[in-house]
Amino acid sequence: MAFFTCIIQKMGNLVHKLLTMGLEHKKILIAVTGGIAAYKINFLIRDFIKKGAEVQVIMTPSALNFASALTFSTLSKNPVFSDFYGVNGTWNNHVELALWADVMIVAPCTANTLAKMVHGQCDNLVIATFLSAKCPVFIAPAMDLDMYAHPSTRQNLEMAEDYGHFIIPAEEGELASGLVGQGRMAEPGTIVKEVEDYLDSGKQSRNFAGKTILITAGPTFEAIDPVRYIGNHSSGKMGFALAEEAAKRGARVILISGPSSLQTQNKNIELHRVTSAKEMFEEVFRYYEGVDVAIASAAVADYAPKDVALEKIKKNEDNLTIELVKNPDILGTMGERKTRQFLVGFALETQNEEVNAKSKLEKKNLDMIVLNSLRDEGAGFQKDTNRIKILTADAMEEFELKSKEAVAQDILDFVEKKTLK
């Protein structure tokens, strides 16, 4: 009996989780401004409604020249407001609208509205609602390519991002002016996906907005001759998961990866690919001085062949001896050159795990070390899961076996706790 009660309870939890995941029952407030792309909002409303969201639309007075409030109202099944004042002296309550929303989206966002948003110039219902909103705000700019590239627009977008808002960048393509370039509003499908991903992440924190995080990932390959190398089994999965999570939390991410088949589409991740430890060293120290957090998750080879044969080594002798020399110590040098950076290292140990990790933490002047043991089932190279312990000078926390994405969340939660007071 207890068994069946437990199963029913679990199924109930699952159904509840599915019902509350993503956009289902979410309240989406769309603010439309005066650009040609306003016609695409018909599709945006329809896509949100299809996914089970509740939609309300507000418009700037200028937007009324570009799209029909009647169409938006019909599609959203809600009245559309574009003025503070309704009929018979009523007030279209911008505070109530702002607090109603789970997510606010400004789309298309004109250069004019963007400027007003970042400077708090409150002369219409859209800006008043935006300034009252406590929910996350997504901004989908749309304008001609030169307006989009103008330093004032770039700076306003950066400021909006620093305030913790989410920018959905304009796309490349043909523009209303007939010119071709970056400035088209992101497609409705892209906007819906960005919002959905954000809601699904469950994290919903933009605590790293304005911070730069450097992450190293993957193995390094040390050439023996033009076709052979000394490498290791690292896939780069942990480093890439960390990069995605840090970008989701608003950071500018510099990801320096050794040879890995992984890719990223995230526009906030600057991916630099390298091959050897020496190349990784050089790339890391091109950026290290300017970063706030550095996470060294790459499995860097300790040694490299002293000489690299110019031609493929032939199979002549029974024994082949390759002399190896020590590679530069990337993590150790990061520790030596540390000024304001919060430095995180990784330790993969096979014995005396905690003692060795603690000693690495001290020796390399780290602020935190993530320990994983090859003895743990499901942890380590090539796996999709990992089981870690996090050690600092005065604390240790142990985590369950989890997906590398969930481990990335744990690691960055810890970094957040230590760096954002």
Ligand X SMILES: Cc1cc2nc3c(=O)[nH]c(=O)nc-3n(C[C@H](O)[C@H](O)[C@H](O)COP(=O)(O)O)c2cc1C
Q: Which of 30, 98, 105, 143 binds ligand X (CB under 6 A)?
A: 143
What's the CA dihedral at 162, 167, 173, 179 to 10 degrees? -50
Q: Which of 71, 112, 232, 419 binds ligand X (CB under 6 A)?
A: 112
- Kind of pairing, strands 388-391 and 396-398? antiparallel
- Is 130 or 342 the residue whose CB approaches ligand X more closely? 130
Task: Centre a 10 Å sphere on the Cβ of residue 338 and count the other Cβ atoms it contains.
Answer: 16
Quote the least distance from Cβ 118 to ligand X, whole Å. Answer: 13
- Is 41 or 142 the residue whose CB approaches ligand X more closely? 142
Quote the least distance from Cβ 68 to ligand X, whole Å. Answer: 15
Q: Which of 35, 188, 236, 380 binds ligand X (CB under 6 A)?
A: 35
Q: Which stretch binds ligand X (CB under 6 A): 27-35, 166-174, 237-245, 337-345?
A: 27-35
CB 243 within 8 A of CB 264: yes
Is 142 near ligand X (CB under 6 A)?
yes
Q: Which of 31, 111, 191, 246 binds ligand X (CB under 6 A)?
A: 111
Quote the least distance from Cβ 108 to ligand X, whole Å. Answer: 6
Distance of CA 408 to the CA centre of its chain: 11
Identify whether 61 is preceded by a cis peptide bond (ω within 30 of 0): no
Secondary structure (DSSP) of 161-177: HHTTPEE-PPEEEE-TT
Is 344 near ligand X (CB under 6 A)?
no
Give the total of residues touching ligand X (CB under 6 A): 14
Q: Which residues contact 263 (CB under 8 A, 6 or more apart)?
A: none
d(Cα 52, Cα 227) in Å, to the nearest integer? 55
Is 333 near ligand X (CB under 6 A)?
no
Q: Which stretch binds ligand X (CB under 6 A): 34-42, 129-137, 245-253, 268-276?
A: 34-42
Q: In what order do the strands lie in the sheet with 388-391?
A: 269-273, 252-257, 212-217, 293-296, 342-349, 368-373, 388-391, 396-398
* Rg over CA atoms, the chain: 26
Is 34 near ligand X (CB under 6 A)?
yes
Catalytic residue numbers, as ranges: 232
Question: Binding pattern to ligand X, positions 42-81, x when CB under 6 A?
Answer: ------------------x-xx------------------
Q: Which of 56, 76, 113, 372 binds ligand X (CB under 6 A)?
A: 113
Report the DSSP beta bridge partners of residue 386. 402
Q: From its phi and psi, is residue 112 left (phi > 0), alpha (psi between -120 and 50) or beta?
A: alpha
Quote the least distance from Cβ 418 to ligand X, whole Å. Answer: 41
Site residues (CB under 6 A) for ligand X?
A: 33-36, 60, 62-63, 110-113, 142-143, 147
